[in-house]
């Protein structure tokens, strides 16, 4: 099925929107320009800011935002354009602004990452933005802690092909391959990655995000975003996307999650077997009637053989 094109929902006043999520009633957005404080803007469905969640922490470069079913927000402080950070951070923010900061470390050097997923059990997955080769997917090797940095491990990689969807800041083939955001349905059944130009939807039937990336995604073009870095799901499966640039709109693709849902198993009852003519038993009248020619033939042969034997015995006598 070909996904419908995105439609504009409302324009956003934020200049550098980098992360977006939704509870179905409100939008939550974060900018990668923080001015020394983590601020999460809460907007109505008309994109008007109704309040700001302010967390007392100074992030480095927040690039994505995720929400768990209980309303907890996770800010992915993982941007590293210059590959200068020895650790990156995840900020767990309550609706009231209470925050816990967890530092994590890559096992294989420094990476720039703009995409975050939280699985059904609360484990975070960071997806890197790789200009060369595949995007890399990491998760912590142990429970997160606020007092020490926890090592990450690479669990899989994701290769995305070049597309002809227009948009993006680079005006080249990289726009359609660089991962700039991620999102998950609230029940964890479908996840999404986005590039500057497209979204890719993956079913997660068993809750295993790493395994989900081994499947074939459904591509949803998001054309003409000037710098598309944000993606989210409404609880009803509507896909939401947004771009940097004040006045650019949040856009929606209704029913997108259903495009990636695995088909439900069918339990149809097999049709009744049509009545077939019953095979006749050897003792049935029809069987006897059908075997009459054979019986007559055998009987004739037996009679002839008996006459021949009888004549031979009479000659000897």
Is 60 exceeded by the pLDDT of residue 290?
A: no
Phi, psi of 19 (to 5 degrees): -140, 145
The set of residues, in sequence order, having a beta carbon less than 8 Å from that of 307 and lying 6+ positions away, is none
User: Model confidence at 262, in pLDDT bands (50, 70, 90)?
Assistant: low
Is residue 315's pLDDT more than 50?
no
Mean pLDDT of the chain: 86
Mean pLDDT across the stretch 240-250?
A: 96
β-bridge pairing 73-77 and 88-93: antiparallel
87 backbone dihedrals φ, ψ, rounded to 5°: -135, 160
Average pLDDT over residues 32-49: 91
Average pLDDT over residues 165-176: 91
Structure confidence at residue 286 (pLDDT): 39
Task: Could you list the beta-strand ranges (E) of the chain.
Answer: 7-11, 17-22, 27-31, 38-43, 49-55, 64-67, 73-77, 88-93, 99-105, 113-118, 124-128, 135-140, 150-158, 181-184, 190-194, 198-203, 218-221, 228-233, 239-243, 249-253
Half-sphere exposure of 159 (CA within 13 A, CB side): 3
Counting residues of the chain whose pLDDT is more than 70, the rounded percentage is: 82
Least confident of 55-69, 167-181, 241-255, 261-275: 261-275
User: Does an H or E element contain 287, and which?
Assistant: helix 285-290
Q: Any residues with CB less than 8 A from the CB of 203 and at least 6 apart, and which?
A: 189, 190, 212, 215, 260, 261, 262
- Does residue 276 have a pLDDT over 70? no
Is residue 222 predicted with pLDDT exceeding 90? yes
Number of neighbouring beta carbons within 10 Å of residue 202: 20
- Give the residue-averaged pLDDT of 286-311: 41
Whole-number pLDDT of residue 32: 84
Which has the higher per-residue pLDDT, 263 or 198? Answer: 198
Q: Determine the distance from the C-alpha atom of residue 203 to the mean position of all C-alpha atoms in its chain, rounded to a whole number.
A: 3
Structure-token match 């700001």, residue found: 52
Which pLDDT band holds residue 287 (cuts at 50, 70, 90)?
very low
**Interstrand relation of 150-158 and 99-105 (parallel, antiparallel or unpaired):** parallel
Residue 27 has pLDDT above 80, yes or no: yes
Residue 91, helix vs strand vs coil: strand
pLDDT in tens, 58-116: 999 999 999 999 999 999 999 999 999 999 999 999 999 999 999 999 999 999 999 99
Would you say residue 131 has pLDDT above 50?
yes
Cβ pair 233, 184 in contact under 8 A: yes
Q: Are 115 and 193 in contact (CB under 8 A)?
A: yes
């Amino acid at each position: 099925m070909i996904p419908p094109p995105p439609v504009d929902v409302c324009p956003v006043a934020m200049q550098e929107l980098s992360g977006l999520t939704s509870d179905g009633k409100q939008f939550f957005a974060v900018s990668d320009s923080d001015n020394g404080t983590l601020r999460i803007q809460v907007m109505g469905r008309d994109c008007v800011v109704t309040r700001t969640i302010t967390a007392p922490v100074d992030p480095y470069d927040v690039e994505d935002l995720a929400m768990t079913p209980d309303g907890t927000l996770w800010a992915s402080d993982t941007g590293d354009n210059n590959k200068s950070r020895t650790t990156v951070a995840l900020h767990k923010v309550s609706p009231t602004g209470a925050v816990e900061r967890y530092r994590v470390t890559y096992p294989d050097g420094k990476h720039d990452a703009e995409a975050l997923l939280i699985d059904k059990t609360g484990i975070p997955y960071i997806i890197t933005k790789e200009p060369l080769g595949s995007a890399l997917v990491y998760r912590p090797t142990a429970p997160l802690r606020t007092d020490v940095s926890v090592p990450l491990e690479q669990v899989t990689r994701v290769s995305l092909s070049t597309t002809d969807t227009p948009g993006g800041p680079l005006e080249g083939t990289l726009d359609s391959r660089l991962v700039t955001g991620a999102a998950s349905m609230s029940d964890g059944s479908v996840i999404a990655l986005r590039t500057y130009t497209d979204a890719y939807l993956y079913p997660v039937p068993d809750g295993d995000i790493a395994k989900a990336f081994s499947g074939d995604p459904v591509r949803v073009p998001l054309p003409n975003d000037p710098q598309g870095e944000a993606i989210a799901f409404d609880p009803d499966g509507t896909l939401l996307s947004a771009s940097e640039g004040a006045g650019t709109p949040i856009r929606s693709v209704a029913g997108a999650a259903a495009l990636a849902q695995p088909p439900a198993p069918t339990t149809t009852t097999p049709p009744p077997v049509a009545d077939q003519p019953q095979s006749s038993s050897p003792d049935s009248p029809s069987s006897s009637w059908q075997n009459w020619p054979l019986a007559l033939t055998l009987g004739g042969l037996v009679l002839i053989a008996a006459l021949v034997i009888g004549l031979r015995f009479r000659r000897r006598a």
